[in-house]
Structure 1
Amino acid sequence: MKKIMIVISLCFIATSLMAQTENDNIKWTAGRPDGHAPIGVMGDHVHHKGEWMFSYRFMTMDMEGLNRGNDAVSQQAVLDNYMVSPVAMTMNMHMLGAMYAPSDRFTLMLMGNIVGNDMQLVNRMGNHFKTSSSGFGDIKLSGMFKVLDMNRQSLHFTAGVSIPTGSIEQKDVTPMSAPKEMPLPYPMQNGSGTWDPNLGVTYLLQGSLLSFGSQLNGTLRLGKNDNDYRFGNQLVWNNWVATKIARFLSLSARIEGKAVGKIDGAYGQLNPMMVTTANTQNQGGEYVNAAFGTNFYIPDGTFKNIRLGIEYLFPLYQDVNGIQLKNDGSWTFGLQYSL
């Protein structure tokens, strides 16, 4: 962790020095390929009065193998205590977004998504099977207020709420329940079931070739959902540096730190001894991820202001609560259009 903080500090200092060599009256601009954060970061920028932006993102994440804390654990060790053990999981998410600025200081953002989850499992008899869920996730509505825009720097605060539009009643047939469906464990649900406020702050700095960004976001879970539980609070800190290698192309590197709390309460229809994912003690943890990406931007012509982003994220450190599947990595592809 100490080495990561040193790298982030060096990136900030390098970008700051480059920015100071420029005219102090020049403002931060989105009109360059590194003018937006890596595509895996949301709510990184605001817009000028009257501007719209529409976006589509596709994210796919793979998990395989098991950790207890930050150490690997075998499936047999898990099956000594649970009737079923996860083997692997794939999550696919389609995300649609819209942003509109009623003023130069204030930007509204709306995000919705469609989620698809597939989990591979094995029971004590050695039988492998799969469960799946899909549908609309929770909708997020946010407002971003810009408080600084000078000397190639920008700072804005974000406040929003996650609206519980995603289902928490996902079911599937398993060998133990056939031919009936049974409720799926917590990670296989599409939404949280609770109204969750979130707060964030984003700082941006641009030099002639380098740009730097830092974003801190927190999500607070309030109350409990209709199934008598709530997911854990979440704090995410992203830092990234990007370099503009052409008018239309930039490369980026990002470090993400994440802390996620355990589930509070429990769904009475889930047996916590059946499978690790049905036990609320096996949720949340502390994570450090790294990512590399690229932004492709069209600055003029018929397709002006279209931006394509690609990013690959992979784990550096995972210290999970209880026993959980390990994150193997994720890809995010995105298309953005401003007008």
Structure 2
Amino acid sequence: MNQPNLHKFPKSFPNQLLTENSNSNKLIADSNHNSDPNKWSGSRPDGHAPIGVMGDHAHKKGEFMFSYRYMFMNMDGNRDGTNSLSDREVLQDFMVTPVDMTMQMHMLGGMYGVSDNLTLMAMLPYVSKEMEHLTRMGGRFTTNSEGFGDIKTTALYTIFNQDKQRVHLNLGASFPTGSINEKDDTPAGEDQILPYPMQIGSGTFDLLPGITYLGQSGKGSWGAQALTTLRLGKNDRGYRLGNKYQLSGWVARNWTDWLSTSLRLIGTTWGDIDGADDRLNPMMIPTADPDLRNGTQINLGFGINLYAPEGNLQGSRLAMEFELPILRDLDVPQLETDWQFTLGLQSSF
């Protein structure tokens, strides 16, 4: 009896099938990892901006990212415009002068991709400040303040994403959850209200509009960001902090699939305080004078990004950035910022 005529396959068919399936799976995996090779990729060491940049990147729909940042800022000495001032020069006009100040901030952040074009972000800071003072009589004292700062939320909306370039709008708001009633003991008495720089929050609802541009090539990336802080109304103590404007630009270079370095230029300018807290005496110390708070500073930042391309920590990154001033132009007299350090951990899932 004749057997049905069966299709005859070449002996190499099983191997071909396995190879094709393997390649197909690889393409699917690569597609999930970076769906379009012509678009910006976050799956590389320089896929995020230097860690000191906030709201620099968006996420795909359904993707969540947790972040933690530790920031330390050191201020030492006073400045009149671009020139340094001695403590004695400040004490000719005030009874007390600030000598130095440190600020530490722990920032918890979360980001969620509502869609491929819209990412929501929230940040909660915990701030600790310490300021050392010198009196005209030669005495020294230190004040401290700490607590949760103003909560910030931002929507990142992508308006351009092709040719390995991306542009998104930063549409943010800040809520007055930080204290503006911080007190400490001073030579004037116990539980004295602290000057403006030692308060934790702004006391006002603030708008945080901005725009971010990103570009990428095979071995490196670049970007720029403009952010503003616009104060709305006055707080419960009858004042509002000055508006702030910041422009930042950076370049980064990948050295391996897990390491990149970056160089960033940051320019910031801010205005005087509008109004005044009537509990403060502006004749006593310059930090209590609302008309001596404006300034401009340009910093140069050096950054390192460490990225996990595979393994249990795939997609996580550890990053750090160190900033040094190259220009400080401050209303007289005002403490000058000498350096700032940021360390951060980011993990997406």
Query: Paired residue for 1:228?
Result: 238
C-alpha distance after superposition, 1:162-188 (max 9, x if no partner): 0000000000000121xx210000000
Q: Letter of the 1:248 partner, please give it.
A: W
Query: Paired residue for 1:312?
Result: 322
Indicate which of 152, 155, 173 corresponds to 1:140.
152
Correspondence list, 1:124-273, <5 A: 124-177=136-189, 180-273=190-283
Indicate which of 75, 78, 96 corresponds to 2:90.
78
CA contact (8 A) 1:281 1:322 kept: no
Correspondence list, 1:86-105, <5 A: 86-105=98-117
Q: Letter of the 1:173 partner, please give it.
A: D
Q: Following the alignment from structure 2 to structure 1, what is the Cα–Cα distance between the partners of residues 139 and 273?
A: 29
Residue 310 of structure 2 aligns to a residue whose secondary structure is coil
CA contact (8 A) 1:262 1:321 kept: no
> Considering only aligned residues, what root-mean-square deviation do their CA atoms show, in Å?
0.9
Q: Following the alignment from structure 1 to structure 2, what is the Cα–Cα distance between the partners of residues 328 and 119?
A: 14
Q: Following the alignment from structure 1 to structure 2, what is the Cα–Cα distance between the partners of residues 69 and 276?
A: 15
TM-score scaled by structure 2? 0.89
1:322 Cα deviation after fit: 2.3
Q: Following the alignment from structure 1 to structure 2, what is the Cα–Cα distance between the partners of residues 260 and 331?
A: 21
1:284 Cα deviation after fit: 2.2
Query: Paired residue for 1:4?
Result: none
TM-score scaled by structure 1? 0.92
Give 1 or 2 for the bigger CA radius of gyration. Answer: 2
Q: Letter of the 2:168 partner, please give it.
A: H
CA contact (8 A) 1:158 1:201 kept: yes
Q: Following the alignment from structure 1 to structure 2, what is the Cα–Cα distance between the partners of residues 91 and 286?
A: 19
Q: Following the alignment from structure 2 to structure 1, what is the Cα–Cα distance between the partners of residues 86 and 64?
A: 50
Size of the aligned set, in residue pairs, is 314
Indicate which of 48, 54, 73 corresponds to 2:66.
54
1:321 Cα deviation after fit: 1.7
**% identity of equivalent residues:** 49
Q: For structure 1, which runs of at least 5 residues remain unmatched after alignment?
A: 1-23
Q: Letter of the 1:133 partner, please give it.
A: S
Q: Following the alignment from structure 1 to structure 2, what is the Cα–Cα distance between the partners of residues 197 and 327?
A: 25
Q: For structure 2, which runs of at least 5 residues remain unmatched after alignment?
A: 1-35
Q: Following the alignment from structure 1 to structure 2, what is the Cα–Cα distance between the partners of residues 69 and 44?
A: 32
Residue 287 of structure 2 aligns to a residue whose secondary structure is helix
1:25 Cα deviation after fit: 5.9
Q: Letter of the 2:106 partner, please give it.
A: H
Residue 34 of structure 1 aligns to a residue whose secondary structure is helix
Q: Following the alignment from structure 1 to structure 2, what is the Cα–Cα distance between the partners of residues 326 and 283?
A: 11
1:73 Cα deviation after fit: 1.1
CA contact (8 A) 1:34 1:211 kept: yes
Query: Paired residue for 1:300?
Result: 310
Q: Letter of the 2:73 partner, please give it.
A: M
Tell me whether 1:110 sits opposite 2:116 in the alignment: no
